[in-house]
Amino acid sequence: MLLLTTLGVLAVVLSAIKIYQTHHTAAALEPIVLYEPLPHPYCTAVGEGAKAYAKEHNVGVRVVVGQESTMANLNQNIESLFTVGHKAFAFIPVDPAGAKGLFARLKKAGRLTVCYAAQPAERSETPFAVATDTKAAATLAAEKLCELLGHKGKILNVLESLTDANTPIRQKAIEDVVAKYPGVEILQTVGDVTTEQKAHEKIESALVARGDEVDAVICTGYTTTVAAATLLAEHNRKPGAKRIRFVGLDTDDRVLAAIREGSIDMTLAQNPFGHGYLSCALLDLMLQGWQPKAAYQFVDAGCVPVTKENVDSFQAGIEAMTKSIVAELKTKYLNAPATK
């Protein structure tokens, strides 16, 4: 009898502990997941934006880093996180066509999504993309380079992976700008660059083969910008060398150092901090009942030209830009929750 009583008490205690743990886990589970496909400086900055939003608004945001930028890895990790019980997800549609199925599954399960860094495929079931306006950024970069050339010269155009959905958009934007100026031409286009090492090799080969003709280089990707900045900084430091003008994309420390010392001209600072911050803001507001004004909306997180004049202060401009976009989310992109 004593044994049965003891076992009964133990069962009640264990049941109570299980219930407490279940409620504690549910309470501790972050409602929002910011998913980074792999370790990368851009992704790290996006994660910092997500963490900043979580801290400032006292909202649970879990930042998760995947193993590789593939659709298979994205599916596996997001579906595992979904099973745990997270309510809202921000992630890069690494394969826009392939991601349509993931968006649909999450929506059917009552989960909220926002994609960042790139736009989804048409008719994807996600209401927002937070990213740089690819066409606008490439157009701005090309215009700035043409200004540096005095609208006369020959350009080496360096593109990243040809399978990236943004690459043909950037290529066309640059070609359209160059077509406006009779004195400017694209001497050569270097493409299909996926790593910094490959970018270094291809750019160096092009400069060796046609360096006397090249007046400027434009890069619209992270790895290509780092490789070109390193090569051109070395070239432009040489006494008597012809100055090769340069405009790149993103703000790797090596690129900023070369701008700071004056050995290269300019890069465009994207707003990865804003990509993370704004994605979490939209998910948080939708969790509160705010509704998208349209089935799909693109939120341009903007970009800022970085030159020697503002290389040590451009981040303030990025943060100000992010705050101005946050301030208009409730009026420009969302409708207030329905009143009961």
pLDDT digits (tens, 9 = 90+) for 273-309: 999 999 999 999 999 999 999 999 999 999 999 999 9
Higher pLDDT, 40 or 114: 114
In a domain, 2, yes or no: no
Q: Can you give the pLDDT at residue 22?
A: 32
Q: Residue 116: which of 319, 298, 303, 316 has the closest Cα?
A: 298
Q: What is the mean pLDDT of residues 224-239?
A: 95
- Same domain as 144, residue 128: no
Angle at 49 between CA 259 and CA 97, to 5 degrees: 95
The C-alpha torsion from 129 through 306 and 242 to 138, rounded to 10°, is 20
In a domain, 265, yes or no: yes
- Same domain as 180, residue 170: yes
Average pLDDT in the chain: 90
Q: Can you give the pLDDT at residue 47?
A: 97
Model confidence at 340, in pLDDT bands (50, 70, 90)? low
Domain with 231 in it = 134-269
- Same domain as 101, residue 167: no
Higher pLDDT, 17 or 75: 75
In a domain, 55, yes or no: yes
- Same domain as 199, residue 102: no
- Structurally, the chain folds into a number of domains equal to 2
In a domain, 308, yes or no: no
**Token couple for 170:** 């950037």
- Same domain as 22, residue 115: yes
- Same domain as 139, residue 33: no
Q: What is the mean pLDDT of residues 321-340?
A: 92
**Token couple for 29:** 């589970």
Give strand ranges (E) for the chain: 32-36, 61-65, 88-91, 112-116, 128-131, 153-158, 184-190, 216-219, 245-249, 266-269, 291-292, 297-300, 304-306, 334-335
Model confidence at 179, in pLDDT bands (50, 70, 90)? very high
In a domain, 13, yes or no: no
Rounded to whole angstroms, the Cα distance separating 260 from 266 reads 10
Q: What is the mean pLDDT of residues 70-96?
A: 95
Q: How many CB atoms lie within 10 A of CB 285?
A: 19
**Token couple for 80:** 């595992």
CATH number of the domain to which 61 belongs:
3.40.50.2300
Q: What is the mean pLDDT of residues 188-207?
A: 92
* Strand order through the sheet with 304-306: 184-190, 153-158, 216-219, 245-249, 266-269, 304-306
Model confidence at 189, in pLDDT bands (50, 70, 90)? very high
Q: Say if residue 234's pLDDT is above 80.
A: yes
In a domain, 93, yes or no: yes
- Same domain as 247, residue 171: yes
Q: Can you give the pLDDT at residue 20?
A: 30
Q: Say if residue 264's pLDDT is above 60.
A: yes
- Same domain as 41, residue 158: no
- Same domain as 218, residue 247: yes
Rounded to whole angstroms, the Cα distance separating 329 from 208 reads 49
Three-class DSSP category at 149: coil
In a domain, 173, yes or no: yes
- Same domain as 36, residue 79: yes
Rounded to whole angstroms, the Cα distance separating 165 from 328 reads 28
- Same domain as 172, residue 118: no
Q: Can you give the pLDDT at residue 53?
A: 96
Model confidence at 164, in pLDDT bands (50, 70, 90)? confident
In a domain, 9, yes or no: no
pLDDT digits (tens, 9 = 90+) for 6-65: 334 334 333 333 323 333 344 489 999 999 999 988 899 999 999 999 999 999 999 999
Q: Can you give the pLDDT at residue 161?
A: 82
In 111-138, which positions are buried (b, 16+ CB within 10 angstroms) versus exposed (e)?
bbbbbbbbbbeeebbbbbbbbbbbeebb
Q: What is the mean pLDDT of residues 105-117?
A: 97
Widest pairwise Cα distance in the chain: 100
Q: Can you give the pLDDT at residue 23?
A: 35
Q: Can you give the pLDDT at residue 254?
A: 95
- Same domain as 146, residue 85: no
